[in-house]
Amino acid sequence: MDILSDTLEVLRTGRSMVTRTDAHAPWALKFQPVSGAGFHVVVEGRCHVLAPHGRPLALGPGDIVFLRRGSGHTLCDAPGRDPVDFVPERVDRSSPIGQVTVDGPGPRTVLVCGAYAIDVDRPHPLFSDLPELIHLPAVPGRHPVLRSAVDQLCAEFHAPQPGSDAVVTALVDLLLMYILRSWYSALPKEPARGWVAALTDPVVAPALKAIHDDPGHPWTVESLGARAGLSRAAFARRFASVVGEPPLAYLTNWRMATAARLLRRSQTPLSAIAQHTGYTSEFAFAKAFKRHFGSAPGAYRKQVETVDGEPRGDNGR
């Protein structure tokens, strides 16, 4: 698995939630913060998004808004409306795609709204590099792969067919990858900084690949730097400059993210998880995990085992 796909897979904590919002003006929905990343796609009509400490942002058909931390915000047909709370428990979940309807006499707006279950409490550089809100307008010829996915999503909502629920769920998961690709492709190429820039950096990329391929290996700054032919000091400076944190800090954080994923998705024994993530004993692993997450591995597993509702495999991957 490539590093970007691997990272998204490990950071994901559960299934994406998808809701079709069908609103007729006048309307305004206030979305509370969620633990994860949120998004909205305008399928039909127009609306505005009001984010905290920001000016109203007008959205048109095909536009996408992505909120990296699921920040609280309001969607409305026009600024100045008194919002009502969007209550997830009131969403019709009789199918995998939830349904919310707001009646009114005015123009209609249809949106795909949803949330990606991602661990944002201990953010990976992939997400910490992002702004709080990303707006990807529907500009012809720009981000063609993302636009194709949005067009397919809109087509499924305009004309549902057998299997539409499964198609929409898959497309929503793909959107996350396409949104990230589109945002990063639009950034200035120089200076090349940030985690995604590191994926193509001739010095840092081999070290990242080594860490992701084998997080349990007893990596040192010297051994990682040797992959790029640099001294310990030169490699450490380059890695920290591009990624934003020292190499061993990244290694530790990735080991902990990998361990958390295994605890959430599998019944792998703690001793095996310890070995897989580079710890010489279950005790050493438990101590490091508790320091990082605030709870022991066994307690963490019990806390999350009924939250995401996904079946567990033998190894969680």
Whether the model pTM is above 0.85: no
pLDDT at position 235 is 96
pLDDT at position 311 is 44
pLDDT tens across 107-164, in order?
A: 999 999 988 988 866 668 888 878 889 999 998 888 899 989 888 888 887 788 888 8
Burial of residue 297 (CB within 10 Å: 0-12, 13-18, 19+) is: buried
User: Containing H/E element for 167?
Assistant: helix 164-185
Positive or negative: CA dihedral 125, 129, 134, 140: negative
pLDDT at position 314 is 45
As a whole number of angstroms, the distance between CA 284 and CA 281 comes to: 5
As a whole number of angstroms, the distance between CA 221 and CA 19 comes to: 46
As a whole number of angstroms, the distance between CA 315 and CA 122 comes to: 23
Domain boundary assignment for the chain: 3-185, 195-304
pLDDT tens across 195-220, in order?
A: 888 888 889 999 999 999 999 999 99
Burial of residue 172 (CB within 10 Å: 0-12, 13-18, 19+) is: buried
As a whole number of angstroms, the distance between CA 110 and CA 103 comes to: 12
As a whole number of angstroms, the distance between CA 228 and CA 188 comes to: 25
Taking Cα atoms as reference points, which of 211, 223, 222 lies closest to residue 278? 211
What are the residue ranges in the chain where pLDDT is below 70?
1, 120-123, 188-192, 305-317
DSSP 3-state of 303: helix
As a whole number of angstroms, the distance between CA 231 and CA 233 comes to: 6
CATH of 195-304, one of 2.60.40.1180, 1.10.3720.10, 3.30.420.40, 1.10.10.60: 1.10.10.60
CATH number of 3-185: 2.60.120.10
pLDDT at position 317 is 40
